[in-house]
Amino acid sequence: MEKAIEILKKNNYKVTKQRTDLLDYLGKFTVQYVSINQITNYMHTIYPGMSNNTIYRNLKEFANIGLVEYQEKDKTLVKYQCDFKNKHHHHFVCTNCGKVTELKACPIEFFTDQLPGYTVEGHAIEVYGLCADCTKKLKTAKS
């Protein structure tokens, strides 16, 4: 939370009770995505009069300054930034339990080598499948 507050201040955002409560809730989701609907439902339990637009705007601002990440496959899912030291990273997402694992390597050079003369302006890579725990459970269930 301290790092998130520091990033808010550095980017000239006010540190309000609503923002800290939102960040506190998002901090529970570092290894899995949470739906924006779930976030709005939670925030409405604390702040019944808070508009959805305020929540969406804050999430977008948090994404712009690197506090949260949207899932590339489904923009209605968001999670707290899992690596403040290395904002550029990729994920493996378990399609069964939703667990997110950070991938350490970036394969962009593989693609840019195939695009001589092109200018790549960005990329996002997410790999989907079953995590080790879900794979083990599936194999056990089939035995």
Pick out the residues of the known binding site for Fe cation.
88, 109, 123
Alpha-helical runs (H) found in the chain? 2-10, 17-26, 36-46, 52-64, 108-112, 132-142
User: Which 3 state secondary structure label does DSSP give 58?
Assistant: helix
Q: Which residues are annotated as a binding site for Zn(2+)?
A: 94, 97, 131, 134
Task: Return contacts of 55-58, CB within 8 angstroms, 24+ apart.
Answer: 55/22, 58/18, 58/19, 58/22
Q: Which residues are annotated as a binding site?
A: 88, 94, 97, 109, 123, 131, 134
